[in-house]
Amino acid sequence: MRRTVMSSAAIALIFGAAACASKPEPEPVADTAPVSNDTAQTEPVDESDIEEPKRVMDAGPAAGSIEDFTVNVGDRVYFDLDQYRLDQDDQEILQRQAAWLESYPGVRILVAGNCDERGTREYNLALGERRANTVKNYLVSLGVDPARIETVSYGKERPIATESNQAAWALNRNGFTQIMSGAASS
């Protein structure tokens, strides 16, 4: 008796699963689109019935603004430990900076050289100065007027990441280009 009940339950389970898995045939959909009659005359449209298209405001930063420079160009390049050499990524960012500065000739910038927390204050100030000058010299080589660029070294005094680990140190070893004057209002 128990075997019969188990067999019946198994068969009911199989049929139930098969019923759930089957996909019903889709019902035909009637086409409710209006039929075009090529011989029918169209009525003229009154111009007052036509709505003006709504202008979508650009949500991005204003052209020539500090935000435009930061978001669309990039304001930092990063250096390896104890280095002030520009790699390919740094050069690409500085090329975009030079092109942006060419488009906005009234803009003056300050390039700040920064270091991580390791090393003495004096060593990091000197390294930060070499980093700032490397950025300035590269921008000048791309045609930016040197009179528009000031440099400063903050050494390890102005970290952007306060942790004491490899990731934070990598972020703090940078050359930061700051717009001082001449940018458009945002």
**pLDDT tens digits along 144-168:** 999 999 999 999 999 999 999 999 9
Asked whether residue 123 is assigned to any structural domain, the reply reads yes
Number of domains within the chain: 1
pLDDT at 5 over 50: no
Q: Which helix (H) or strand (E) holds 110?
A: strand 108-114
- Tens of pLDDT, residues 23-43: 555 555 555 555 555 555 566
Regarding predicted confidence, which is higher, 174 or 19? 174
pLDDT (mean) for 77-104: 98
Mean pLDDT, the chain, as a whole number?
A: 84
CATH number of the domain to which 134 belongs: 3.30.1330.60
Does residue 92 have a pLDDT over 90? yes
Mean pLDDT of 76-104: 98
Highest mean pLDDT among 29-38, 62-71, 92-101: 92-101
The pLDDT score that the predictor gives to residue 135 is 98
Question: Is residue 157, in this structure, part of any structural domain at all?
Answer: yes
Inform me whether the pLDDT recorded for 9 exceeds 60.
Answer: no
Angle between helices 88-103 and 121-141 (to 10 degrees): 60
Is 167 contained in some domain? Answer: yes
In a domain, 22, yes or no: no
Residue 101 in any domain: the answer is yes
CA distance 123 to 111: 19
Flag whether 37 is in a domain: no
**pLDDT reading at 109 higher than 90:** yes
Contacts of residues 139-142 at CB distance under 8 Å and 24 or more positions apart, as own/partner, are 139/94, 139/97, 139/98, 139/101, 139/111, 142/94, 142/95, 142/98
Q: Is the pTM of this model over 0.85?
A: no
Look at residue 45 and tell me if it is in a domain. Answer: no
The CA-atom distances, in angstroms, between 97 and each of 4, 52, 80, 90, 145 are 83, 39, 21, 11, 13
Domain assignment of residue 173, yes or no: yes
Calculate the CA dihedral of residues 89, 92, 97, 102 and round it to 10 degrees: 170
Range of the domain at 82: 66-181
